[in-house]
């Protein structure tokens, strides 16, 4: 099963605000995110889920939280108490590909587990406290680069 991180990062490394807000709205990047993830499970932290406000359609939405009593009003959303459990659930369902969709705390834990990263590098700085973790470029091979008006999509595959 392929584990893929998908993220949009500002030039200064920012990915969001601690109050859950996304500091920018770039339609073309939302479209890329949707097109890429549709039909696959998406795993996210509780804070990211709450910032979305509702599950994203056409994808199994999986939330991780440490709160055993955490509940949502949507039947089709799965909740797990660890990232590992969420990933193992997908494996047990025979999924071929899953996406890790943030936020910062989840990316930090997922970066050592992922086989691939699809990073939209935005061409601007943004205000915010949540950053994408630093990673060693030497562990990753760039397999594609796609230029868009306000960003560039770089796809990395883990070496070996």
Ligand X SMILES: NC(=O)c1ccc[n+]([C@@H]2O[C@H](COP(=O)([O-])OP(=O)(O)OC[C@H]3O[C@@H](n4cnc5c(N)ncnc54)[C@H](OP(=O)(O)O)[C@@H]3O)[C@@H](O)[C@H]2O)c1
The residue ranges that bind ligand X (CB under 6 A) are 7-8, 15-18, 20-22, 44-48, 51, 64-67, 70, 81-83, 101-106, 109, 130
C-alpha to C-alpha distance for 69 and 54, rounded to whole angstroms: 18
Minimum distance from CB of 102 to ligand X (Å)?
A: 2
Instruction: Closer to ligand X by CB, 62 or 140: give it.
Output: 62
C-alpha to C-alpha distance for 69 and 143, rounded to whole angstroms: 42
Question: Which long-range contacts (C-beta less than 8 Å, at least 24 apart) are formed by 154-160?
Answer: 154/118, 154/119, 154/121, 155/116, 155/117, 155/118, 155/119, 156/116, 156/117, 156/118, 156/119, 157/115, 157/116, 158/114, 158/115, 158/116
Instruction: Closer to ligand X by CB, 80 or 159: give it.
Output: 80
Instruction: Closer to ligand X by CB, 53 or 94: give it.
Output: 53
Instruction: Closer to ligand X by CB, 76 or 127: give it.
Output: 127
C-alpha to C-alpha distance for 122 and 120, rounded to whole angstroms: 6
Minimum distance from CB of 112 to ligand X (Å)?
A: 13
Instruction: Closer to ligand X by CB, 29 or 160: give it.
Output: 29
Q: Which residue carries 């509702």 as its tokens?
A: 54
C-alpha to C-alpha distance for 147 and 108, rounded to whole angstroms: 26
Minimum distance from CB of 1 to ligand X (Å)?
A: 19
């Amino acid at each position: 099963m392929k584990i893929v991180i998908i993220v949009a990062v500002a030039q200064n490394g920012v990915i969001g605000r601690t109050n859950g807000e996304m500091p920018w709205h770039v339609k073309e990047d939302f479209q890329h995110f949707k097109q890429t993830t549709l039909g696959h499970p998406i795993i996210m932290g509780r804070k990211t889920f709450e910032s979305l406000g509702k599950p994203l359609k056409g994808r199994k939405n999986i939330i991780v939280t440490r709160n055993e009593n955490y509940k949502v009003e949507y039947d089709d959303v799965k909740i797990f108490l660890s990232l590992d459990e969420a990933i193992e659930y997908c494996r047990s369902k025979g999924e071929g590909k899953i996406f890790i969709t943030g936020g910062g705390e989840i990316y930090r834990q997922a970066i050592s587990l992922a086989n691939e990263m699809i990073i939209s590098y935005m061409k601007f700085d943004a205000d915010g406290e949540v950053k994408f973790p630093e990673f060693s470029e030497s562990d990753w091979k760039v397999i594609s680069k796609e230029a868009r008006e306000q960003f560039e999509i770089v796809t990395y595959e883990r070496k070996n």
